[in-house]
Amino acid sequence: MEISGFISAVVIGIVIGVLGRLVVPGRQRIGFLWTIGVGIVAALLGSAIAAGFGVADTDGPDWIEWFIQIALAAVGVAALDRARARR
């Protein structure tokens, strides 16, 4: 992965993480860096899943890919919040 690809993954991860956090109701007890980390992982996994289903490269915006990424980020934020709440 080139440096430009890494930087774009971080930027997309921030956006996806924040959107995933907005989808989860209530207050989350995780920090901003955890949100970014979850967003980056969700963006990468979501892209791989979308590519596996053949919906990653479409004409225009990749709405299905974004939905998958945001859903994965929401699940990741909720899971991390619950794991940290148990401690």
Domain count, the chain: 1
Residue-wise pLDDT tens digits, 53-76? 888 777 777 788 889 989 999 999
Q: Is 83 domain-assigned?
A: yes
Q: How far apart are CA 35 and CA 57, in angstroms?
A: 26
Q: Is 77 domain-assigned?
A: yes
Longest dimension (CA), the chain: 46
At residue 2 the predicted structure's pLDDT band, cuts being 50, 70 and 90, is: low
Q: Is 52 domain-assigned?
A: yes
pLDDT at 77: 92
Between 4 and 66, whose confidence is greater?
66
Residue-wise pLDDT tens digits, 9-25? 778 888 998 999 899 98
Q: Domain span at residue 79? A: 27-87
Task: Give pTM, 2 decimals.
Answer: 0.84
Report the pLDDT averaged over residues 36-61: 85
Q: Is 37 domain-assigned?
A: yes
Q: Is 11 domain-assigned?
A: no
